[in-house]
Amino acid sequence: MTINKVGVIGSGLMGSGIAEQSARCGFDVVVREINPEAVEAGQKRIFGSMTRGLERGKMTQEAHDEAVARLSFTTEVEALADCDIIIEAATENMALKKEIFADLDRLAKADAILATNTSSLSIAEIAAATSRPDKVLGIHFFNPVPVMPLIEYVRGLLTSDETMAAARQFGADLGKQTVESQDRPGFIVNRLLIPYALDAIRILEEGVATRDDIDLGIKLGLAHPMGPLTLSDFVGLDTLLFIADAMYDEFKDPRYAAPPLLRRMVTAGYHGRKTGKGFYDYS
């Protein structure tokens, strides 16, 4: 199974990063969005990122131009029909993902790999929307995709060895290191990250320490590049809450129960860096 052409559904932070990295690494890429406005926003995000890479000396003019030429954009899902792998990077909503995968099952070629970038949802449930669960797996990238060196692969109950091997080779071709998890909520990284982040929020909420002291304590005491509250803002507090709720629904473990402070901040629109305010003010 050889991967030459990549389809990406969604061009938000994750989808745009996946598309950019794929194009920079020599793959032809088709990016599908829901409307022309979203296509325009995705193009601006991807081309802007590559222009910054060019200006900072991270890529040559020739490499930049070749990567741009490999990218195409569409609002038509049928444009993905000849892709060797299609990566869904839409909103973390199970009903939406199952609808997307049912469409992909109808139009994608028989040997195409269908992947989801979900950070917590069940691969088996998503795969059940298709007639080819052996071709479905999770490919969890990390933000920002061109910078972060890891891909977390998630094997569904029926994912074949052939599919997993081809997908992991694709990750290596993207210049990434890869790890593999079974299909359990949170997989490896979020299974460990979420209770850590929630405990930091609880410490803040209970008045045990200030925001700055929590983050500085972890940075200097555990040699982390950023503290848990800064990291939560970077991930997105809405995303953090969604993953925590999904994991709590599955495990019923109080470690994954979101603190009231987190829920109230998300309700108030404090989602972190992407909205300009979270635990820190980015405005």
Q: Identify which of 225, 212, 264 has the alpha carbon closest to the alpha carbon of residue 241.
A: 264
Structure tokens at 75: 């609002």
- Maximum distance among all Cα pairs of the chain, rounded to whole angstroms: 56
CA-CA distance, 171 to 175, in Å (whole number)? Answer: 7
Spatial contact of 115 and 137, defined as CB atoms under 8 Å apart:
yes
Catalytic residue status for 152: yes
- Looking at 88, 140, 160, 271, which residue is catalytic? 140
Residue 226: count of CB within 10 angstroms of its CB: 13
- Looking at 49, 120, 152, 181, which residue is catalytic? 152
Catalytic residue status for 4: no
Catalytic residue status for 64: no
Q: Identify which of 55, 64, 56 has the alpha carbon closest to the alpha carbon of residue 20.
A: 64
Structure tokens at 138: 């999770």
- Looking at 49, 190, 232, 271, which residue is catalytic? 190
- Looking at 119, 120, 122, 181, which residue is catalytic? 119
By annotation, the residues acting in catalysis are: 119, 140, 152, 190
